[in-house]
Chains A and B, each alone.
Chain A
Amino acid sequence: MSAALPIALDELELDALTELVNLGISQAAHSLAEMAREEVTLTVPQVRMVPRDEAIRIISEREHSKLVAVHQVFRGDITGRALLIFPEAQSFELVRAVVGGDMPIDEIIELEQEALAETGNIMLNGCLATIANHLQRSLTISLPEILHGESREFFDLEPPPPPGDLVMFIYINFALRHRNINGYIAMLLDMPSMTALKALLKAYIGRVAGDVLAG
């Protein structure tokens, strides 16, 4: 069972957030497909809001090998960290799938970090920018940074996170060139950002559903 969250989204707010994440990920798939010159399928089976400890637990229970993450910080009405996380063993596959094609292996190895940062940047920016645009807010997003380690380390980055942090936890399925890669996007939000997100989602729902909402 999940622990009760200090600030919870109601069903329609979570639905709206999931729609926005799906729009963002579709946008990212489009960009990656242009890069890869092949169809990219990116799907989001689930979006959840969980406490930070639970996010750490979910990943460490499912993934037993070392992990790699693309990390970006975003600032604005909503401030936090975004992480694209997947098993280290799959990062090479991911890069190969995206830049792959005819490129020789040694060149791919050389490009791995750069391509990984670029791929992560496309996916995280796709999500963040789409969410921000639809919520009619702007965000500044830092350059991508690659991290290697375990899930706890990713969620304990300096400066020390406040204890009440929540994580928007997004499961990602990524399919390209007959490769299937599963990963996660985690967005860490502190309490004021979570409060702001809830209010912005409420306003967004009002704009999208309008008079239907009352009925």
Chain B
Amino acid sequence: MKTVSRYTILIVDDSKLARMAVNKALNTLYPEWERLEAANAEEAVAAVKQAAPDVALLDFNMPGRDDLALAAQLREANPKMAVAVLSANRQQQIVDRTSAAGATFLAKPITEAALGQFLKAVVQDMESRP
């Protein structure tokens, strides 16, 4: 029997509706995972320091902060954490800078299929670690 691993995921988005959309997808994909939510950069940093989530999803368009700088800061606080940056802005420069920051680019609005694919890769990576 396959054991169900329970991971913790942090959803960072200033839009409540966007966080709800991710939650809806997670209800289907990984209902057993623990979820944390942050509505701004400060809450995100605090959540990472306190709860050390396994995965973080960051909205790119949050006001008042360079989101890729936030991605780098979160990874520094928790280097093992997988990070995806969600943006509707598919400019190549942004996709490139996202990868350079060690994060995965996911197009907004997020689809269940795209989120599922990203999380599947994250799970495989985590489970292959010694």
Contacts and interface: CB of A to CB of B under 8 A. Distances in A.
A63 interface: no
A99 interface: no
Contacts of B90: 26, 30
B63 A209 contact: no
Interface string A37-61: 0011011110000000000000000
B87 interface: yes
A205 B17 CA distance: 7
Interface string B43-81: 000000000000000000101000000000000000000
30 contacts: A12-B16, A16-B17, A19-B15, A22-B88, A23-B108, A23-B109, A26-B108, A29-B89, A29-B91, A30-B91, A33-B93, A39-B93, A40-B91, A42-B89, A43-B61, A43-B63, A45-B63, A205-B17, A208-B17, A208-B20, A208-B21, A209-B20, A209-B21, A209-B23, A209-B24, A210-B24, A211-B24, A212-B20, A212-B21, A212-B24
A18 interface: yes
Nearest 8 pairs between A and B by C-beta? Answer: A26-B88, A209-B20, A26-B89, A39-B93, A23-B88, A212-B20, A212-B23, A210-B24
B91 A15 contact: no
Contacts of A27: 88
Interface string A88-124: 0000000000000000000000000000000000000
B99 interface: no
B24 A22 contact: no
Interface of B: 15-18, 20-21, 23-24, 27, 61, 63, 87-91, 93-94, 108-109
B18 A19 contact: yes
B69 to A, nearest CB: 14
Given A12-B16, A15-B17, 16 more contacts: A11-B16, A15-B15, A19-B15, A19-B18, A26-B61, A26-B89, A29-B91, A30-B89, A30-B91, A39-B94, A43-B63, A45-B63, A208-B20, A209-B24, A211-B27, A212-B21
A154 B18 CA distance: 33
Interface residues of A, number: 27
B128 to A, nearest CB: 31
Nearest to A17: B17
A213 interface: yes
